[in-house]
Structure 1
Amino acid sequence: MKILVLCTGNSCRSQMAHGFLQSFDENITVCSAGTEASGKLNQNAVKAMAEAGIDISGHTSDSVQKYLNEEWDFVITVCGGANESCPAFTGNVKNRLHIGFDDPSHATGTDEFIWSEFIRVRDEIKEGFYKFYTEEVKPQL
């Protein structure tokens, strides 16, 4: 089972989803990528995931170009806000899904509020991807 999580920057939401999916089942192959990969991880995302017991600090922010020639069981977009356009994946994919989330890296306000947005979105990603895992992935394993 191969799953690609796709967003624009590949620094925050797709990285968190990648970390959670891999934690649910280490036998599935999970990658994440961005159409405009930032080349680095959002440090608040790394910190929020560490707080949840998952280390994503070794992940890399990769361009979707790296994965276009591979076959995927699922490609999942995670962009959320109305101002964001979800990237299209033109590679070989059995199932395309969208599970959208707000981008906490766009939050403004106090440090406390910004941090609370990272925690909120992290928890929403965990819940959304656990539902995906139990309903879509696990039955196929």
Structure 2
Amino acid sequence: MKVLFVCRENTCRSVMAEAIFNSLSEKHRAESAGVERGEKIDENAIKTLEKCGYRVEKKYPKSLDDVNLEDFDLIVTVCDEFCVNIPGKKVIRWKIEDPKGKNLKAYERVLKFLEDKIKQLLEEIGYEGS
């Protein structure tokens, strides 16, 4: 299964979700994109992921225009509001706080929430991984 995580700018929450998902699953893959393309990946998101042992492969933000939506079996929005509607695709909506501009504790809280949600999602779709 291929999953696309979507947030507003693809600089923080969706990038974190992509890194966590790909670290936890050997069988399924994830990518991420934003409704709009942000300028750069949030440095505190990268620091938080690396501190918790996750590898960040993404080098720059993408927008939905940069990906082929037909490649994905599932879309997961990780916005704290209704950020996107994609007709004809299975979309799961997770309301996740935006830690951007907040202290590192907010990033750690978001990471923990994403870990829990992604582990639950992987159990639902079936996974091989650590």
- Asked whether the equivalents of residues 46 and 57 of structure 1 are also in contact (C-alpha less than 8 Å), the reply is no
1:134 aligns with 2:123: yes
Q: Give 1:24-39 correspondences, 5 Å limit.
A: 24-39=24-39
Aligned equivalent of 2:95: 100
- State the distance in 2 between where 1:58 and 1:33 align: 11
User: Distance in 2 between the 1:59 and 1:26 partners?
Assistant: 21
- Secondary structure at the aligned position of 1:128 is classed as helix
Give 1:49 shift. 0.3
State the secondary structure of the residue aligned to 1:16. Answer: helix
Count, aligned residues = 127
Match of 2:63 in 1: 63
**Contact 2:4/2:30 (<8 A) preserved:** yes
The alignment-based identity, stated in percent, is 27
1:60: how far off?
A: 2.7
Distance in 1, matches of 2:55 and 2:29, equals: 17
Dislocated runs of 4+, deviation >3 Å: none
Query: 5+ residue gaps in structure 2?
Result: none
User: Could you tell me the TM-score, scaled by structure 2's length?
Assistant: 0.88
Greater relative contact order structure (CA < 8 Å, 6+ sep): 2
Return closer, same or farther for 1:59/1:16 CA change in 2, 3 Å cut-off. Answer: same
Distance in 1, matches of 2:93 and 2:58, equals 25
- Structure 1 residue 55: Cα displacement: 1.7
SS state of the match for residue 105, structure 1?
A: coil
- Once the two structures are superposed, residues 87-141 of structure 1 have per-residue CA deviations (whole angstroms, 9 ceiling, x without a partner) of 2224x52x2101121000043xxxxxx1111111111111111111112x217xx
Mapping 1:19-58, distance limit 5 Å:
19-56=19-56, 58=58
Residue 69 of structure 1 deviates from its aligned partner by 4.8
| Equivalent in the alignment of 1:117 | 106
State how far apart, in whole Å, the 1-side matches of 2:16 and 2:82 are. 19
